[in-house]
Structure 1
Amino acid sequence: MNPFRNELKKLDRENDEQSAYIECRDNYVAVQNMVRYLSSSSLSLFQVQIIRKDLIGMAVEGEKEGLTVREKLGVEPKEFCDDIIQSGDNNARREHLLNAVVNTAQFAAFWFTFRFLGFYANPASYTLTWGDVLTIFLYYFIGIFLATYIRNRLSICSSPVLRWLPYLTIFFVVICGYTLSMKFYTPINESFIIMINGWYVECAAVALALAVTLLANMHWRRCARKYAC
């Protein structure tokens, strides 16, 4: 058993390969938006990939019959997804939190490695600043909360304005962040939290990222066994 094997990503890759058999672009987008919407709910992310696999098969079968995804479902995609969410018997908010922690910890490890190897000739003089904290927070807020959760939640809306709202918000936040950084980032980045041996920071960041990644992989293996039954 490979502890670094991520069963969720494995299933996601398999679904990506199967989705290539959907010939109609509209059907492909419909399935994609339904999966995104389900991912923003309290359903297990592994369960969502199982549902995605079924939806892909349904879309391919519908195309052979000359039907769209909506016609094959018999109801509006949002109504279909809401029924699945309401009938779900588990609340996977902790799982979603774990997934967010893994992504953020991996980014933090990358960020500290980039700073440590790129800017510090003397490892013993590594300065942990509030700029580091701000960078990691912005990654979570923009890269995970806005770009993933909010986008997924609005992906199935009929209004194109609502579907594009997360992207417009991200664009606005990035522009504002860049503008403010020109004035405030330098003093924030110079406000250090602690000066410490850089190897300690680097090892701690990598160890944390590795630990939460292995923990998540254990969880996905349990999910694979659960939904295989």
Structure 2
Amino acid sequence: MFKNEVTLLKKENLRQMENVKEDDKDTIYEIMKSMSVFKVNSYDAQVIQRDLIGMAQDSELRGADLKNVIGNDIKSFSNEIIKNSYGPSIIEILLSFFTLLSGYLFGMHILPAYLQYQSLSWQSTPVIYLLYVGVVLINFIADGIITPLFINERGFKKHIPTLISISSFIILVIITFLIKDRQNIITIKAQYIIIASGLGYLVLKYLSSLNIHRLAENKTKYIEDLYEDN
């Protein structure tokens, strides 16, 4: 049900990457790390990777490396690709966030139900949901925005995304603890949240596939122009 152009391209790209030499693989992976969902939609990102693989295979036939073709300034080359792409999809960003959130809510209720409480209902404070949503939001922003900004950095700067994520999580926990009202205890009916989040996850995955079909319509490769210019 969830097969789409992106899943097909991912499968083909993985197969083709097996024929790419290690140095070029590292270069491709380094470029692709900057292609977050906030900069390039996932369909275009897979097309970019497919074209990079083609460039690597072509350069190998000529006895060169991919870096010989694109130059040593990988960051500038990546930014040029992003600038010439179709950009991000707001719909995809929203669907990705809510898919992650629904999956997290599903896991954070089904696991305690069977591993901690051995029951589908337990007492808790509603503030815990602030923590759940906050954790998902921090991870989503860190992976999609902060990490790509520092992906090509070296030394201390390389660890800035991790420090930001940890600091944000600590602040979130402190805020949650400070506003927690121990008198305001509710009964968590986990079965309803498990069913709702599970169904929501499936619906969101289906909508994501429909959005991918939309993104893939009438698209052409755009990285080839950069290849010819180099």
Same fold (TM over 0.5): yes
Aligned residues: 221
Match of 1:155 in 2: 151
**Shift of residue 190, structure 1, vs aligned partner:** 5.7
Matched, 1:212 2:204: yes
1:131-210 pair list within 5 angstroms: 131-141=128-138, 143-157=139-153, 159-170=154-165, 176=170, 188=180, 194-210=186-202
Contact kept, 8 Å, 2:35 with 2:82, in 1: the verdict is yes
Matched, 1:33 2:30: yes
Q: Deviations over 1:140-185 (max 9, x none)?
A: 31x322234321222134x3433332234445666x479x68xx76
Structure 1 pair 7/88, CA: closer, same or farther in 2 (3 Å)? closer
Q: Deviations over 1:83-128 (max 9, x none)?
A: 2222334552332232222122212212222123333444355646
**Shift of residue 49, structure 1, vs aligned partner:** 0.9
Match of 2:64 in 1: 67
> C-alpha separation between the residues in 1 aligned to 2:61 and 2:163?
37
Matched, 1:11 2:9: yes
Residue identity matched to 2:69: K
> C-alpha separation between the residues in 1 aligned to 2:186 and 2:116?
17
Contact kept, 8 Å, 1:147 with 1:167, in 2: the verdict is no
Structure 1 pair 194/227, CA: closer, same or farther in 2 (3 Å)? farther
Matched, 1:222 2:214: yes
Q: TM-score, normalised by structure 2?
A: 0.76
Matched, 1:110 2:107: yes
Match of 1:56 in 2: 53
> C-alpha separation between the residues in 2 aligned to 1:208 and 1:43?
25
Q: TM-score, normalised by structure 1?
A: 0.76
Give 5+ residue unaligned stretches, structure 2: 222-230
> C-alpha separation between the residues in 2 aligned to 1:21 and 1:191?
62
Contact kept, 8 Å, 1:40 with 1:153, in 2: the verdict is no
Give 5+ residue unaligned stretches, structure 1: none
Contact kept, 8 Å, 1:129 with 1:191, in 2: the verdict is no
Sequence identity (%): 18
> C-alpha separation between the residues in 1 aligned to 2:121 and 2:158?
48
Structure 1 pair 115/129, CA: closer, same or farther in 2 (3 Å)? farther
